[in-house]
Amino acid sequence: MNVLIVEDEKSLAQEIADFLTKEHYLVEISSTGMDASEKIAVNLYDFILLDLGLPDYNGLDLLREAKNSNHEAAFIIITARGEVDDRVKGLDLGADDYLAKPFSLVELNARMTAIARRKFGLKTNHINFGAFTLDPLSRKVTCGELEVDITRKQFDLLHYLLLNKNRALTRMQLYEHIWGNLLGDEYDSNFIDVHIKNLRKKLAEYAPVDWLETVRGVGYRANIN
């Protein structure tokens, strides 16, 4: 999943980024509100971690702006400000959670996991689909007692499709959320097609994969009951 960290304390931002990268998130950093505003305007994020005390931008204004262009993103306010008013205003504007500095990175990850579960309606960590089970914590896909041998990116692609089950995702959405944001001519729709083909081939060695549908002219969908 894509994460944007908006934090002017560069050492803290890098510490968070390094930790989340190890947890298999794709991470970008903005140290100014202006840079964050530009990124948010053109890119899609699953999480935006936002410091309210930015040197060049009102953090609450940025939150309001970001909610308009990235309305599906989850927002966590991270700030040294302890005033109740700031916290309430942020939550009223649509922030999903609030962490006051200093905070534990393990707690941040736990909060992000809890938000993701609520966002995608997950009641357990395991996701059952067809004859398979995906475990996000161990990053394993199994069919019965057998573990399916797939690459890290294939796992991320499958996981994102399953989190958005029964929803058609465009090739560009899949590319951005799994491989990071795009610049100009970098995007190639065939790149996603090749990865889906290889993923289907590996899963089909264990059980039917007719639930993984191609949506003509759009992209792909995990059609799961």
- Tell whether 115 and 132 lie within a shared domain: no
User: How many CB atoms are located within 10 Å of the residue 18 CB?
Assistant: 11
Tell if the pTM clears 0.85, that is, is over it. Answer: no
**Pairwise CA distance, residues 201 & 204, whole Å:** 5
DSSP 3-state helix, strand, coil percentages of the chain (rounded to 5)? 45, 20, 35
Please count the structural domains in the chain: 2
- Tell whether 101 and 153 lie within a shared domain: no
| Each residue's pLDDT expressed in tens, for the chain with a length of 225 residues | 889 999 999 999 999 999 999 988 889 999 999 999 999 988 888 899 999 888 899 888 999 999 888 888 899 998 776 666 777 788 888 899 988 888 999 999 999 988 988 877 666 678 899 899 999 888 999 999 999 999 998 999 999 999 888 999 998 888 887 777 654 445 566 888 999 999 999 999 999 999 999 999 899 999 987
- Tell whether 165 and 210 lie within a shared domain: yes
pLDDT of res. 72: 82
Could you tell me the two tokens for 150?
A: 């797939």
pLDDT of res. 184: 47
**Pairwise CA distance, residues 87 & 169, whole Å:** 34
Are 96 and 47 spatial neighbours (Cβ–Cβ below 8 Å)? Answer: no
- Tell whether 13 and 114 lie within a shared domain: yes
Question: For 5, left (φ over 0), alpha (ψ -120 to 50), or beta?
Answer: beta
Of the residues 71, 93, 119, the one at which a domain ends: 119
Residue keyed to tokens 């729709």: 189
- Tell whether 198 and 134 lie within a shared domain: yes
- Tell whether 76 and 114 lie within a shared domain: yes
- CATH number for the domain including 132? 1.10.10.10
pLDDT of res. 187: 54
Of the residues 58, 93, 119, the one at which a domain ends: 119
pLDDT of res. 195: 92
- Tell whether 59 and 112 lie within a shared domain: yes
Of the residues 119, 145, 178, the one at which a domain ends: 119
- Tell whether 29 and 76 lie within a shared domain: yes
**Pairwise CA distance, residues 69 & 145, whole Å:** 43
- Tell whether 12 and 53 lie within a shared domain: yes
pLDDT of res. 172: 84
Q: Give the residue numbers spanning the domain of 191.
A: 127-222
Q: Supply the DSSP string of 45-73, one letter for each residue.
A: -SEEEE-SB-SSSBHHHHHHHHHHHSTTS
- CATH number for the domain including 67? 3.40.50.2300
